[in-house]
Structure 1
Amino acid sequence: MVLTALGALTAVGLATLWPDYAKVAEVSERVAAHNHLPDGTTFERGHIVGAPEDCTLPPNPAALADPASVEQRTTTACLFIQVELATGPDAGRIVDVLAQGPMATSGLQEGDRVELVAFPEYQPQGAQVASHEVVNNYGLSGIIRGWPLLVLAAVFVGVIVAVGRLRGALALAALGVSAGVLLAFMLPALITGRPGILVGIVGASAIMFVTLYFVHGLSYRTTSALVGTLGGVLIIAGVSILAIHITRLSGVDEEGSILLTKVSGEIDFRALLTCAIIVASLGILNDVTITQASSVWELRAAAPHLKRRDVYASAMRIGRDHIASTVYTVFFAYTGAALSVLMVMYLHNRPLQSLLTIDTLAIEIVHTLCGGIGLVLAVPITTAVAALFIPAATAEASTPAKTMHHGNEKVGDRN
């Protein structure tokens, strides 16, 4: 009954909020127009020949007199690199390009494969290019990382399958389906202006249906975890809406978000922020609820005579330990993701109250606190639902079960 109701609501939500791909195409065209490159611009590939040469640029003399221009008063890392082109009209030729900023400090070496952006060089009408000249002007676009990422992904898959075996393989398959929900439904729906909060809730429900039942099987145990997960999602959504409102967050804090404000006027960025908080919490929320539901079932198997409220109490003792570790997990996960932001804030000579006026920092704090509240409250919800779903207590055996005391706790013997 519960499963049918949740499934029906999720299906109705998907059908109602399904994106209009024609609008997605229109927004995509506006993004392309905003990032317009000169006609004839192409992207070519090549590899570095010879060792890159340092060409660290001195600070801008005009900025030295301006105490506020900290960024421009520092030196700028750069490298001169020679690239032998493998594609395009200049294939086989060697060109000199400049690597600046992050790419200059990424450890580029001879033999590394890179992508260049090729701008057509202006030629007077009727002029001919000499055989020793290149056709285009080139700039460094990026580093080709296909093989390293592929190897890393293969190791990731191999480790999961080797340790998790069938369950690990099922988890990978569910992860692929979850990515499909994100790419086919959630992102296009958000781009076309569908309500971000509803998209987050419905998308999370669809992902959890696939993940939980596909990996853990169709059972009351899994349904308990699903109900607890969706309860946590609703709590996170509600708390996030309130937190974003009272902290007056706009949801626009990155270059990508600013671009979206220019090309798609239909996006509600505050609702988008709520959706982001929901999605960011899904993985650990799933971990918490499935573990808690399993604890309830294992307690019932070990002590079939215990009343439901006693099973609930025992499971909550386990849950409190889980909550303690979850709080650390959430805190350090968000701290690691925002480490560079925190470093910048640390260097600002401003009081904490002043730093909290910066949207970027406030958003990370709201992310952490809202997600943490939902995760913690999902534990008693899941435990209560699981305690209702477990089989009723059986009559106690003629020989009373032995008990073991630990502090003030009394636990039935599992032998």
Structure 2
Amino acid sequence: MGAHGHGHGHGGTADDTLEPLPRRTRRALTAVVLVVLAVAVAGVLATWPHDVPSASTTYVGAQTVRGDVTGTRMLTCRGELAEERLPDGTLPETVECPQATVRVDGTEQDATQDVGQDVTVTVPAAVFHGGLSAGDRVVLTRYPGEAGGAATYAWEDVDRRVPLLVVVAVFVVLTVAVGRRRGLAALAGLAVGGAAIAFHVVPALLTQENAVVVGLSSAVAVMGVVLYLTHGFSTRTTVAYLGTVAGLLVTAGAAVLAVDASHLTGLSEESAYTVTVLTGAVDLRGVVLAGTLVAALGLLNDVTITQAAAVWEVRAARGGGFRELFAAGMRVGRDHLASTVYTVTFAYAGAAMPSLLLIELYEQPLGQVVSSAAIAEELVRSAVGGIALALTVPLTTALAAALVLRSRPASAAPGSGT
């Protein structure tokens, strides 16, 4: 993995002006990377999910139906549900009950008995006020009637397939157009990461595998593929990979301690509660841990690649000893760390915005707000990410400085280095 000190056709990099590392050092680095990858792959195989539970059997015969909205209307109903309670705890006498008429054009199971039929379903008020109107594509769930009775329909969601496809297509085209081979490699790496989450992490969590082992093994294995695929086989990439692995280990340790100390159960979201109801056994604490590790992947990758590149460029441009290289790399690292920390915090704040809105409506004290489950989870993720970044930056910088010193400027020894 770290067996080559040259870039792969990317002219103008520091690797082009430095001789490769000594053969013994390259072999040692390669051995370390292979051991790390072997352990990660072993973890993936040990936690590979079997007999994943499914909620599809809960509603036998239910079908996903798509169609076009032909009209909407607003009705009023009596307030009866717990989620409809006012801030003072009382139920309102009436609540909004918007409805939509949908002309069905088929089902996912290719059943055609509903084609052309107009059905009326109750729509969530938030969806209605969000601009639902005639002509919009929507998704419904069709429940067959008992003993030949009439089928019933329930609102599921807006059909977003076409706009999502357009957005993703534009993203792919621009990434390849600007990034060229690197952009294409990054997209391939993204696909690998997505596949790991879909086929390993999520199913393994549903089958009660150890969340830390699942998250760490999958993350370490994925980054081994993504980093080398995107940035090529070089010592710089190896430094970034090992730095990322170290950061993931720090993230896992800090996350376990913080989640246990904060008694986070993962029940702050309705979807999380639904998972426990449908499966009956999923440990949502593990979901929080695995989610923290997955979230740390992009952050650590970004920082470690930057630190390795910075040290290599400084060495190629002006030389210097370990202390000078480390100091120069840390100057870059401190700026990067500062910007990344508040970027991450704002990103998590954006994700928790609905919870913040509810907190504002209920006018809760600041201390109660901070310690609430929804906000506490985001604070723990931000803090754990910050801890991992703060330790990963100097670790990666030191490793990069130590290794780059074993490379000499190409002009100093023409033809040397194998």
Bin the TM-score by the shorter chain: 0.7 to 0.9
Aligned residues of 1:60 and 1:73 also touching (Cα < 8 A): yes
| Residue of structure 2 in register with 1:167 after alignment | 182
Aligned residues of 1:13 and 1:202 also touching (Cα < 8 A): yes
| Residue of structure 1 in register with 2:31 after alignment | 4
Aligned residues of 2:72 and 2:133 also touching (Cα < 8 A): no
2:343 is the alignment partner of 1:343: no
Structure 1 pair 144/262, CA: closer, same or farther in 2 (3 Å)?
Answer: closer
| Residue of structure 2 in register with 1:83 after alignment | 103
| Counterpart Cα distance in 1 of 2:180 and 2:91 | 51
Structure 1 unmatched ranges of 5 or more? 126-134, 398-415
Report the TM-score when normalising by structure 1: 0.82
| Residue of structure 1 in register with 2:51 after alignment | 23
Specify the SS of the correspondent of 1:96. strand
- Aligned residues: percent identity? 37
Amino acid at match of 1:297: W
Shift of 1:139: 3.1
Aligned residues of 1:241 and 1:274 also touching (Cα < 8 A): yes
**Deviation digits for residues 40-89 of structure 1, max 9, x if unmatched?**
4333222123xx33314266399999873467467426143342544531
Structure 1 pair 53/292, CA: closer, same or farther in 2 (3 Å)?
Answer: same
Aligned residues of 1:48 and 1:110 also touching (Cα < 8 A): yes
| Counterpart Cα distance in 1 of 2:326 and 2:85 | 68
Structure 1 pair 207/294, CA: closer, same or farther in 2 (3 Å)?
Answer: same
Q: How does 1:333-412 map to 2 (within 5 A)?
A: 333-392=347-406
| Residue of structure 1 in register with 2:64 after alignment | 43
2:241 is the alignment partner of 1:226: yes
Amino acid at match of 2:88: A
Structure 1 pair 21/243, CA: closer, same or farther in 2 (3 Å)?
Answer: closer
| Counterpart Cα distance in 2 of 1:313 and 1:9 | 29
Shift of 1:114: 1.9
Aligned residues of 1:99 and 1:140 also touching (Cα < 8 A): yes
Aligned residues of 1:77 and 1:105 also touching (Cα < 8 A): no
| Counterpart Cα distance in 1 of 2:114 and 2:298 | 47
State how many pairs are aligned: 377
Cα RMSD between the aligned structures? 2.9
Deviating more after overlay: 1-10 vs 73-82: 73-82
| Residue of structure 2 in register with 1:149 after alignment | 164
> Relative CO higher for 1 or 2, CA cutoff 8 Å, sep ≥ 6?
2
Deviating more after overlay: 176-185 vs 54-63: 54-63
2:289 to 271, 274, 284: 274
2:214 is the alignment partner of 1:190: no
| Residue of structure 2 in register with 1:292 after alignment | 307
Aligned residues of 2:341 and 2:386 also touching (Cα < 8 A): yes
| Counterpart Cα distance in 1 of 2:386 and 2:93 | 41
Deviating more after overlay: 199-208 vs 74-83: 74-83
Amino acid at match of 2:33: L
| Counterpart Cα distance in 2 of 1:275 and 1:231 | 16
| Residue of structure 2 in register with 1:57 after alignment | 76
Shift of 1:162: 1.3
2:309 is the alignment partner of 1:309: no
Aligned residues of 1:200 and 1:278 also touching (Cα < 8 A): yes
| Residue of structure 2 in register with 1:211 after alignment | 226
Deviating more after overlay: 294-303 vs 107-116: 107-116
Aligned residues of 2:104 and 2:119 also touching (Cα < 8 A): yes
1:249 to 261, 264, 267: 264
Structure 1 pair 4/188, CA: closer, same or farther in 2 (3 Å)?
Answer: farther
1:113 to 137, 148, 153: 137
Structure 1 pair 376/124, CA: closer, same or farther in 2 (3 Å)?
Answer: closer
Amino acid at match of 1:287: D
| Residue of structure 2 in register with 1:104 after alignment | 128
| Residue of structure 2 in register with 1:400 after alignment | none
Report the TM-score when normalising by structure 2: 0.81
**Deviation digits for residues 169-201 of structure 1, max 9, x if unmatched?**
110011111112222222222222221112211
Structure 1 pair 6/263, CA: closer, same or farther in 2 (3 Å)?
Answer: farther
Aligned residues of 1:83 and 1:95 also touching (Cα < 8 A): yes
Aligned residues of 1:174 and 1:210 also touching (Cα < 8 A): yes
Shift of 1:319: 1.1
Shift of 1:317: 0.9
Amino acid at match of 2:74: C
Aligned residues of 1:17 and 1:194 also touching (Cα < 8 A): no
Aligned residues of 1:81 and 1:99 also touching (Cα < 8 A): no
Amino acid at match of 2:217: V
Structure 1 pair 179/348, CA: closer, same or farther in 2 (3 Å)?
Answer: same
Deviating more after overlay: 326-335 vs 260-269: 260-269
| Residue of structure 2 in register with 1:407 after alignment | none
Structure 2 unmatched ranges of 5 or more? 1-27, 412-418
Specify the SS of the correspondent of 1:76. strand
Specify the SS of the correspondent of 1:55. strand
Structure 1 pair 4/66, CA: closer, same or farther in 2 (3 Å)?
Answer: closer
| Counterpart Cα distance in 2 of 1:95 and 1:300 | 70
| Counterpart Cα distance in 1 of 2:326 and 2:104 | 67
Aligned residues of 1:76 and 1:100 also touching (Cα < 8 A): no
Structure 1 pair 197/84, CA: closer, same or farther in 2 (3 Å)?
Answer: closer
| Counterpart Cα distance in 2 of 1:394 and 1:65 | 71
Point out the structure with max Rg over C-alpha: 1
Shift of 1:9: 3.4
| Counterpart Cα distance in 2 of 1:93 and 1:346 | 44
Specify the SS of the correspondent of 2:76. coil
Aligned residues of 2:40 and 2:220 also touching (Cα < 8 A): no
